[in-house]
């Protein structure tokens, strides 16, 4: 009797298998692809995007891969770099919440570049590669038991993205995995400081994913035990048990567990923002808003309001985001300007919002959360939030999904390919 396969071997077998997606998983893949492309087009004119594109163009003029949201082509690694930044820079991209991984961001950026330079592919081939890459990136996060120190959307994302691209490229999966791991990078420091370096780490991961596949296809070796080895992923980047994920491979498609982000802000802000949008409170009637939440939520979005904060900082500041929601009923990136952030009315509302401990010490938990509103007349009301808006347990309504689609289209450059919004799967796969 042969020895049972290691968890890494099981992951590689899953990455290369000839899958036929269940109808639900295929629909989820198509829906989330459309969401990711729309968000990427909206990010084409965000702060930092021009510097990213100019730097990518210096890597080599011309090429065979498109840029999401603007005309022109670049070599596949450079295009993946630009597109990865565009998808994540507005903090509007889909996320697997239990894994704490923005799995679509790196996978769509790298996979799209691989498909483009091959000259297109069939829709089902693209959706399977997408679902596999997302599953692996999310799975590495699900297997983790430690809190975030490295930026998991990049460190896990590069591995899922590289294996997805390798399916299209026909690259050896074992070397691709080892090379992707050897390229993994990114920490939580840019998050703490509120800098556009955070989406740059996604951009780097997408570029590294393409390079890993290319090198593996050229016969360049990667480490044989990159996940479970002495200096592997689960010794350096995260503590955890890979087998806890690989035991269920193929039984549950993790892409069905991914949450869509209704607002262009850190995901940890969305439970409170969704509840505030639902309540539609009169701003002047509010004396104080208090969110009792786990430590991860406070770590991610409890930073204090500052008049001179950067847009990247503001997207992770629940005080500011909550003030916008109270006044506008939405969160619009065009409000993230120095003039708006110095507005005294918004500043006053922001200072009435606080995040407080709830006694939960799980470093990866986002729930439970409880929003308590104290009104100017002394009344108080509390609301338990069981699921974040946009999650599988609390999906967007048709109207909410359309509102996001419309805002993304409005933010995208005028010369963005309209198929991104009207026929995203055909756009992604290069179909006529």
What are the tens digits of pLDDT across the range 138-174? 999 999 999 889 999 999 999 999 999 999 999 999 9
pLDDT at 430: 95
Which residue, among 11, 23, 24, has the nearest Cα to 248 in the 3D structure? Answer: 11
% of the chain residues with pLDDT over 90: 92
Q: Residue 165, class by beta-carbon neighbours within 10 Å (0-12 exposed, 13-18 middle, 19+ buried)? A: buried
Residue 62 in tokens: 């011309």
Q: 201 vs 153, 206, 238, 367, CA distance in Å?
A: 9, 9, 17, 27
Distance between CA atoms of residues 376 and 97, nearest Å: 35
What burial class does residue 403 get, using C-beta atoms within 10 Å of its C-beta: 0-12 exposed, 13-18 middle, 19+ buried? middle
- Is 353 in a helix, a strand, or coil? strand
Terminal Cα-to-Cα distance of the chain (whole angstroms)? 51
Q: Quick one: pLDDT at residue 1?
A: 34
CA 57 → CA 70, 114, 226, 347, distances in Å? 13, 18, 32, 40
Helices (runs of H) and strands (runs of E) counted in the chain: 22, 6
Dist. CA 367–CA 349, nearest whole Å: 25
User: Which tokens belong to 26?
Assistant: 């295929």
Neighbour-count burial for 378-390, b at 16+ CB within 10 Å, e otherwise: eeeeeeebebbbb
Tens digits of residue pLDDT in 202-242: 999 999 999 999 999 999 999 999 999 999 999 999 999 99
Q: Which of 186, 206, 208 is nearest to 36 (CA)?
A: 206
pTM of the model: 0.94
pLDDT of the residue at 103: 94
Residue 129's alpha-carbon distances to 47, 135, 163, 173, in angstroms, are: 31, 10, 8, 13
pLDDT over threshold 60, residue 65: yes
Q: Which residues of 40-74 are buried (b: 16+ CB within 10 A; e: fewer)?
A: bbbbbbbbbbeebbeebbeeeeebebbbbbbeebb
Confidence category of residue 269, pLDDT binned at 50, 70, 90 = very high
Which pair of structure tokens corresponds to residue 375? 């009104």
């Amino acid at each position: 009797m042969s020895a049972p396969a290691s968890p890494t071997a099981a992951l590689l077998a899953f990455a290369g298998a000839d899958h036929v997606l269940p109808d639900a998983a295929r629909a989820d893949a198509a829906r989330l692809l459309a969401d990711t492309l729309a968000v990427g087009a909206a990010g084409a004119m965000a702060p930092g995007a021009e510097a990213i594109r100019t730097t990518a163009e210096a890597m080599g003029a011309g090429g065979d891969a498109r840029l999401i949201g603007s005309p022109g082509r670049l070599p596949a690694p450079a295009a993946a770099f630009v597109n990865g930044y565009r998808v994540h820079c507005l903090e509007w991209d889909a996320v697997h919440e239990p894994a704490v991984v923005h799995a679509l961001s790196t996978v769509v950026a790298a996979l799209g570049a691989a498909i483009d330079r091959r000259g297109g592919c069939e829709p089902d081939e693209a959706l399977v590669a997408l679902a596999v890459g997302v599953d692996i990136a999310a799975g590495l996060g699900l297997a983790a038991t430690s809190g975030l120190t490295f930026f998991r959307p990049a460190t896990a994302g590069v591995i899922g993205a590289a294996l997805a691209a390798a399916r299209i490229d026909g690259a050896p999966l074992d070397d691709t995995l080892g090379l992707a791991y050897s390229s993994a990078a990114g920490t939580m420091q840019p998050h703490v400081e509120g800098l556009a370096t955070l989406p740059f780490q996604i951009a780097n991961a997408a570029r590294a994913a393409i390079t890993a596949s290319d090198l593996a296809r050229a016969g360049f070796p990667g480490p044989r035990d990159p996940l479970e080895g002495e200096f592997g992923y689960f010794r350096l980047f995260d503590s955890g048990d890979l087998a806890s994920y690989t035991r269920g491979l193929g039984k549950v498609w993790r892409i069905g567990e991914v949450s869509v982000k209704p607002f262009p802000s850190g995901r940890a802000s969305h439970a409170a923002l969704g509840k505030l949008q639902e309540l539609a409170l009169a701003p002047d009637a509010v004396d104080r808003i208090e969110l009792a939440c786990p430590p991860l939520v406070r770590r991610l979005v409890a930073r204090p309001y500052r008049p001179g904060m950067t847009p990247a900082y503001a997207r992770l500041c629940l005080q500011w985001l909550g003030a916008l929601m109270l006044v506008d009923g939405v969160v619009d990136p065009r409000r993230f300007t120095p003039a708006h952030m110095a507005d005294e009315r918004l500043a006053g509302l922001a200072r009435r919002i606080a995040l407080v401990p709830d006694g939960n010490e799980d470093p990866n938990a986002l729930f439970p959360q409880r929003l308590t509103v104290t009104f100017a007349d002394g009344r108080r009301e509390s609301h338990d939030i069981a699921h974040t808006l946009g999650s599988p347990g609390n999906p967007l309504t048709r109207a909410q999904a359309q509102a996001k689609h419309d805002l993304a289209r409005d933010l995208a450059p005028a010369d963005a390919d309209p198929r991104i919004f009207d026929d995203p799967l055909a756009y992604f796969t290069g179909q006529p």
